[in-house]
Amino acid sequence: MRERIGRGGVKKAVRDVRAVILAGGRGTRFWPLGRAAKPKQFLRITGREPMLLETVRRIRPLVPARRVTLVADAASTRLARKLLPRLPKESFLVEPLARNTAPALMLATARVWLDNPEAVVAVLPADHLIRDEARFLRTLRAGVEAAARERALVTFGIPPAYPATGYGYIRHDRESGRKIGGAVFYPVQGFKEKPNLAQADEYLASGDYAWNSGMFLWRADVFVEKLEIFAPEFMPAWTGMVEALRSGNRKKLRAAFALAPALSIDYALMEKVDGVLVADGDFGWSDVGAWSTLFEIWPRDGNGNACRGEVLALNAKNCLVWNPGRLTALVGVRNIVVVEAGDALLICDVALDQKVKDIVEALKKKKKHKKYI
Amino acid sequence: MRERIGRGGVKKAVRDVRAVILAGGRGTRFWPLGRAAKPKQFLRITGREPMLLETVRRIRPLVPARRVTLVADAASTRLARKLLPRLPKESFLVEPLARNTAPALMLATARVWLDNPEAVVAVLPADHLIRDEARFLRTLRAGVEAAARERALVTFGIPPAYPATGYGYIRHDRESGRKIGGAVFYPVQGFKEKPNLAQADEYLASGDYAWNSGMFLWRADVFVEKLEIFAPEFMPAWTGMVEALRSGNRKKLRAAFALAPALSIDYALMEKVDGVLVADGDFGWSDVGAWSTLFEIWPRDGNGNACRGEVLALNAKNCLVWNPGRLTALVGVRNIVVVEAGDALLICDVALDQKVKDIVEALKKKKKHKKYI
């Protein structure tokens, strides 16, 4: 660890931070713009750039591109390499098998560990939106400090805005917060799976629960220590991965990967580990989970319409339109999502946009419809 | 007039019937499928063929194609000639100027009159739907008899289905009906312009009013007699047209055409003439005045959706979809019209489909929007 003199004359640690971006998601909720061959993280729905590029750009003040690793399946990796042509091949880590996030993050962490065991790994999904980027970076810097100094696994909890049933929750002890770096960290008391509405209401009322953002920080050496203690069933896979990475043998890597249980990192490790810390992720986070979430991101006209593309609206209210390159005329319609993309058109009640995935499921059932997936 | 022996051994007149099809309409109510360059009569919305072709086909048992004249502006005539490539050039009568229906029908009638003054002219719009074609032909045959024998101007009144404010009405004397040919004809007591709703309610309740279908029959010689008596201000134009047609001088034709007041035939002649006869047009007529009228024509699924193109509907009701060649997915939407055509998409509340013309008006106002008209 190097040190440098900060502005106030105080010695500041210059941490070796490595970002691991989970770029392999396969969401269907943005159909028909999002397709099997073009998942959400490659869509330009939140800004001018695909969400994956925004994720890389957003962390640049803390993590230069050369310290970013993108983890994904082979198909998403091909798309990611096209988007980031300047990154070397080594920046792209292809999952040998689809086995959920735990094996993928073990592999990414093992690579970092071989390079610098004290480096801090920041795990970031490629398809989330963060509105307050300055605040996010402050929290991320503090998280790096907490992971490095406290030797803890660290996560960010999103202050819940409503009793969501679509997210996992993190229970934390609000009384025992401690300031580390620029943020307050709380001891985690438990990870909870997606609740039903009654539970979600309780969670919200108690004030002790935050949404699980799926962002994590750990020192590589701490990660393996925790794995050994709290999830020893993963150690044969870890050892195999390290050996395969050292030798560069891809067959052995695949075999080691296959040894790891196919679990999420939350389930495999986070919820078992003692001393996990959580900071408030009050930086305008959204997982952009469905079309209607874009109402919060795109500018809206006086009638609440949010549009991409040329739109002529007569007495239309609260409509979300994605139809670049064409004219959309709306007459007297309300609360609908309109998405025109290639060979398919979606018209959906705003309140039912979670059902878009049911459309994709229905399309899978007929051979003639498969081309639309 | 020739005669032939009919099935029952009764002598039947073989009338010389000429159809004059008004093919120059410029409706905007089927935007974005209907465009300035492709008006409604050229759309395949009621059946497999463009409405104009269906109009020609429908009357074929009574009027062979060689006795059909299509009257339209130059642009619509070009489209019509492409649709009817076997018809000789003479079948297409180009209006020298846009001057409403009276001058156009005078010109078409003058051509017939020069050929055979006793021929019966049947004036038919190119963009109406007739569901019961057998009944229509029976009524048309009877109308030819009435026009020929009674020397009357003849029209068909549509039994009103609701208090429409979008049609003109014909008041007729239901007590004095007389059977002529295969239909009952009533003396017309007056033509009424489009009423307000209160008037339309009265018309409907009285039973004495029918919708003006815009279909007319007259003998060519009777037409000019009536014109001379009831609309003498048109005679200079008539005389000029006849002379120009005889000489084949297009400049003179244009000049004669310009002499005629630019009025509809209803206003210029029909409502002034004594002894007009009307028969019940109870043959499933529709002027196909807006997208929602297609609900009555296209097959509907169990949820009332009527679709052209591949549609996947989840909890969608009473939607009308035109989107051939693409997939349309509907989720939870109701009572909307969806039309995808080229560079434009329309989403419209079914109850507001009359406002589609307002979209076209709005498009006219911005230069960048004119390409969509």
Q: How many C-beta atoms lie closer than 10 Å to residue A366's C-beta?
A: 10
Residue A185 confidence (pLDDT) above 90: yes
Closest CA to B34 of B287, B362, B341, B369: B341
Mutate to test the interface with A, among B31, B291, B327, B367 (most CBs of A within 10 A): B327
Residue B167 confidence (pLDDT) above 50: yes
Cα B354 from Cα B350, distance rounded (Å) = 9
In this complex, do B333 and A344 lie within 8 Å of one another by their Cβ atoms?
A: no
Q: Which residue do the tokens 């490595």 mark?
A: A18
Residue-level pLDDT at A7: 52
pLDDT, averaged across chain B: 94
pLDDT, averaged across chain A: 94
Q: A262 touching B, CB under 8 A?
A: no
* Neighboring chain B residues of A336 at a CB cutoff of 8 Å: 333, 336, 347
Cα A151 from Cα A135, distance rounded (Å) = 23
* Neighboring chain A residues of B312 at a CB cutoff of 8 Å: 359, 362-363, 369
Residue-level pLDDT at A8: 47
A296-317 confidence digits (pLDDT tens): 999 999 999 999 999 999 999 9
* Neighboring chain A residues of B313 at a CB cutoff of 8 Å: none
* Neighboring chain B residues of A361 at a CB cutoff of 8 Å: none
Q: A346 touching B, CB under 8 A?
A: yes
Cα A262 from Cα B134, distance rounded (Å) = 70
Q: Which amino acid belongs to residue A361?
A: E
Residue-level pLDDT at B26: 80
Q: Which residue do the tokens 């701490």 mark?
A: A222
Q: Which helix (H) or strand (E) holds B72?
A: strand B68-72
Residue B4 confidence (pLDDT) above 80: no
Helices (H), chain B: 51-58, 74-83, 101-115, 133-150, 197-206, 220-230, 235-247, 250-259, 265, 356-364
Query: What mean pLDDT is predicted for residues B117-142?
Result: 97
Cα B330 from Cα A356, distance rounded (Å) = 9
Q: At A98, is the secondary structure helix, strand, or coil? A: coil
CA distance, residue B235 to nearest chain A CA (Å)? 47
In this complex, do A345 and B347 lie within 8 Å of one another by their Cβ atoms?
A: no
Residue A309 backbone zone (phi > 0: left; psi -120 to 50: alpha; other: beta): left
Residue B13 confidence (pLDDT) above 70: no
In this complex, do B326 and A343 lie within 8 Å of one another by their Cβ atoms?
A: yes
Q: B358 touching A, CB under 8 A?
A: yes
Residue A242 confidence (pLDDT) above 80: yes
Mutate to test the interface with B, among A33, A323, A327, A361 (most CBs of B within 10 A): A327
Tokens read off for A34: 């999002």
Categorize the per-residue pLDDT at B25 as very low, low, confident or very high, splitting at 50, 70 and 90.
confident
B185-226 confidence digits (pLDDT tens): 999 999 999 999 999 999 999 999 999 999 999 999 999 999
Query: What mean pLDDT is predicted for residues A336-352?
Result: 97
A23-40 confidence digits (pLDDT tens): 997 878 999 999 999 999
A33-69 confidence digits (pLDDT tens): 999 999 999 999 998 899 999 999 999 999 999 999 9
Categorize the per-residue pLDDT at A160 as very low, low, confident or very high, splitting at 50, 70 and 90.
very high
DSSP class of residue B119 equals P
Residue A126 confidence (pLDDT) above 70: yes
Q: How far is CA A267 from the centre of its chain?
A: 16
In this complex, do A329 and B348 lie within 8 Å of one another by their Cβ atoms?
A: yes
Residue B2 confidence (pLDDT) above 50: no
Give the chain A residue whose CA is nearest to the CA of B354.
A331
Residue-level pLDDT at B118: 97
Residue-level pLDDT at A335: 98
Q: A339 touching B, CB under 8 A?
A: no
Q: How many C-beta atoms lie closer than 10 Å to residue B3's C-beta?
A: 9
A4-25 confidence digits (pLDDT tens): 444 544 445 679 999 999 999 7
Tokens read off for A327: 């004219």
Residue-level pLDDT at B28: 87
Q: Which helix (H) or strand (E) holds B22?
A: strand B17-22
Query: What mean pLDDT is predicted for residues A263-290?
Result: 95
Residue B293 confidence (pLDDT) above 70: yes
Q: B314 touching A, CB under 8 A?
A: yes
* Neighboring chain B residues of A292 at a CB cutoff of 8 Å: none
Query: What mean pLDDT is predicted for residues A137-165?
Result: 97
Tokens read off for A96: 């040998």
In this complex, do A312 and B340 lie within 8 Å of one another by their Cβ atoms?
A: no
Residue A224 confidence (pLDDT) above 50: yes
* Neighboring chain A residues of B336 at a CB cutoff of 8 Å: 333, 336, 347
* Neighboring chain A residues of B310 at a CB cutoff of 8 Å: 369
Measured between CB atoms, which of B328, B356, B372 is closest to A345?
A: B328
Tell whether omega for the bond before A32 is within 30 degrees of 0, i.e. cis: yes
* Neighboring chain B residues of A310 at a CB cutoff of 8 Å: 369
Residue-level pLDDT at B9: 46
CA distance to B131, B134, B321, per residue, from B297 (Å): 9, 17, 13
Q: A362 touching B, CB under 8 A?
A: yes
* Neighboring chain B residues of A330 at a CB cutoff of 8 Å: 347-348
Q: B331 touching A, CB under 8 A?
A: yes
Q: A171 touching B, CB under 8 A?
A: no
Torsions phi, psi for A313 (to 5 deg) = -115, 125
Residue-level pLDDT at A341: 94
Q: B33 touching A, CB under 8 A?
A: no
Give the chain B residue whose CA is nearest to the CA of A343.
B326
CA distance, residue A193 to nearest chain B CA (Å)? 29
In this complex, do B329 and A346 lie within 8 Å of one another by their Cβ atoms?
A: yes
Give all domains of chain A, ordered by start, each with its CATH number: 2-286 (3.90.550.10), 291-372 (no CATH)
Tokens read off for B197: 């709703």
DSSP class of residue A117 equals T
